Amino acid sequence: MPEVIFPGPEGRLEGRYHPQKERDAPIAIILHPHPQFGGTMNNKVVYNLHYTFYNMGFTVLRFNFRGVGRSQGEYDQGVGELSDAASALDYLQSMNNNSKHCWVAGFSFGAWIGMQLLMRRPEITGFISAAPPANMYDFSFLAPCPSSGLIINGTSDRVAPPPDTRSLVRKLHEQKGITITHQEIEGCGHFFENEHMDTLTDSVTDYVKRRLTETTR
């Protein structure tokens, strides 16, 4: 998988880019967890989401937010990281301008950034939010949430407690024109350890494949 360096708002950003042979393959970006708590693009959940999308025929990009790995800049409370994600999507789209579907997937902090990106980029047709930290960050910007997606978390998540995630899902369910699918994995912690990782990737595969056959958003 080729390493790529592409321009971000604060200098270069480091990524891994995995293209398909088909010129019109769907595209996806994968967003990693919190940079100040060891989050990188090589996080296990991020890595597995990357390959899950690639194996479904997507051209995929994952990357390090500013200040992580070889990406320049420094942590910016989520504001700069959202700009980094927008730059990553710009880069991915510039290489794949025939793509008809665009997805964003994020884990933990990356789920929060990904859902903000939805609000900026109407071309995003679907999203995956794995263990969104609804207890730590305000998700009220999702008014209205512009596209349908899957929110998936574990019942034993101590970092992002399930009641907060359920509350977020309830709020999103009230919105018209989109469908939020919510799945809780029994006994699973924040990091989808062991067999829970397979459950995560299987659920994402089932959900995305179903959505790709539908014509609605």
pLDDT in tens, 115-124: 999 999 999 9
Q: How far apart, in whole angstroms, are the C-alpha atoms of residue 168 and residue 22?
A: 37
pLDDT value at residue 66: 98
Q: Residue 62, by phi and psi: left (phi above 0), alpha (psi -120 to 50) or beta?
A: beta
Pairing of strands 59-63, 11-18: antiparallel
Residues in the chain, pLDDT under 50: 217
